[in-house]
């Protein structure tokens, strides 16, 4: 549906976007994951024509847009990191305003507005001032507002930053429904536990694409094994013991009462460890991201 190829953008000497390509499919969630300042927002702004790119091309349904950004914006709903709601207007008045600037026909406006507020669970709060909403509710109102234009593509820039866990769970339920309707969803996030809910992922670091693909494939083809160790004695002693095994190229970290251990090759070195339990488990996307990040860190 939406694709970018070899995007480049430098701000003076900083290469904000350094050769990024990916494609986002209909009915799928594509996650753009990366640290603060990795270039996620810049990529979105380039796609929308808000920042001029140095090089590269944007494609809609495999055809290059050739500078005609209205081909993107006509079908896209964009939710920037800080979506500007009018804090002195009510939820409903905000929706009316956004419906008007998006030229929703007057006849459809009321029905559409109510339907969207209903689906995001905001209908009971329609008379509340936007300024008096919680972070999670503001985010749902912003989402309702961008859905007014019935976009095929949704570009969401860190939609869940600062949002509490319940609202996040609800937000992803809505995403699931939108996915089923065939929307193309592109979402930036620094939270890799959330990225697990996506279908495709693009790991961005310092403007560069360090790994990308289907989330399941990336997990299945991950070259290292992950073990979870429950030490029998003091966890810090066990960690010290593991770290002292110089011949083993492995990465260890503590997570609660477990030591997590990521390595490739033979697991024989674990045999001598005093543990109540050693279990292999699937690495998380966070483990995977940090693995690739370590691989390129010293560039």
Name the residues that contact other proteins, by CB under 8 A: 34-38, 134-136, 161-169, 190-193, 236, 253-258, 284, 286, 289-290, 293
* Minimal distance, residue 224 CB to other proteins, in Å: 16
Task: Sort strands 2-11 and 14-24 into parallel, antiparallel or unpaired.
Answer: antiparallel
> CA-CA distances (angstroms) from residue 32 to 13, 143, 187, 227?
24, 18, 6, 27
112/229 with CB nearer other proteins: 229
269/292 with CB nearer other proteins: 292
> CA-CA distances (angstroms) from residue 236 to 7, 229, 232, 252, 275?
46, 12, 11, 11, 13
35/101 with CB nearer other proteins: 35
* Minimal distance, residue 252 CB to other proteins, in Å: 10
Taking every pair of Cα atoms in the chain, the longest distance, rounded to a whole number of angstroms, is: 74
Q: Quick one: which of 209, 275, 204, 212 has its CA closest to 38?
A: 204
Task: Sort strands 184-189 and 29-34 into parallel, antiparallel or unpaired.
Answer: parallel
Give dist(CA 176, CA 223) in Å, integer: 30
108/279 with CB nearer other proteins: 279
* Minimal distance, residue 171 CB to other proteins, in Å: 12
* Minimal distance, residue 169 CB to other proteins, in Å: 6
Give dist(CA 212, CA 50) in Å, integer: 25
* Minimal distance, residue 297 CB to other proteins, in Å: 9
110/219 with CB nearer other proteins: 219
* Minimal distance, residue 149 CB to other proteins, in Å: 29
- Both tokens of 136, joined, read 């999670």
Q: Which 3 state secondary structure label does DSSP give 73?
A: helix
165/272 with CB nearer other proteins: 165
75/278 with CB nearer other proteins: 278
Give dist(CA 188, CA 202) in Å, integer: 9
List of residues 6+ apart from 70 with CB closer than 8 A: none
* Minimal distance, residue 254 CB to other proteins, in Å: 5
* Minimal distance, residue 87 CB to other proteins, in Å: 18
List of residues 6+ apart from 66 with CB closer than 8 A: 57
46/163 with CB nearer other proteins: 163
- Give the count of beta carbons closer than 10 Å to the beta carbon of residue 19: 14
């Amino acid at each position: 549906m939406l694709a970018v190829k070899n995007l480049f953008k430098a701000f003076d000497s900083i290469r904000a976007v350094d050769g990024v390509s990916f494609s986002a499919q209909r009915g799928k969630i594509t996650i753009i994951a990366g640290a603060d300042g990795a270039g996620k927002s810049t990529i979105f702004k380039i796609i929308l024509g808000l920042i001029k790119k140095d090089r590269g091309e944007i494609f809609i349904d495999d055809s290059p847009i050739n500078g005609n950004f209205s081909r993107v914006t006509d079908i896209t709903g964009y939710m920037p990191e800080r979506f500007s709601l009018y804090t002195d207007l009510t939820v409903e008045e905000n929706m009316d305003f956004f419906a008007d600037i998006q030229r929703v026909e007057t006849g459809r406006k009321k029905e559409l507005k109510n339907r969207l507020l209903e689906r995001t669970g905001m209908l009971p709060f329609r008379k509340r001032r936007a300024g008096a909403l919680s972070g999670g509710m503001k985010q749902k109102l912003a989402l309702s507002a961008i859905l007014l234009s019935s976009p095929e593509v949704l570009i969401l820039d860190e939609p869940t930053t600062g949002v509490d866990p319940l609202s996040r769970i609800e937000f992803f339920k809505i995403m699931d429904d939108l996915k089923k309707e065939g929307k193309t969803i592109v979402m930036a996030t620094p939270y890799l536990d959330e990225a697990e809910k996506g279908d495709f992922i693009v790991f961005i670091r310092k403007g560069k694409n360090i790994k990308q693909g289907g989330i399941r494939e990336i997990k299945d083809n991950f070259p290292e094994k992950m073990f979870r160790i429950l030490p029998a004695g003091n966890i810090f002693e066990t960690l010290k013991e593991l770290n002292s095994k110089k011949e083993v190229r492995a990465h260890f970290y503590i997570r609660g009462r477990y030591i997590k251990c990521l390595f490739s090759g033979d697991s024989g070195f674990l045999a001598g460890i005093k543990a109540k339990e050693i279990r292999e488990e699937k690495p998380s996307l966070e483990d995977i991201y940090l693995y690739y990040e370590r691989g390129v860190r010293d560039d």
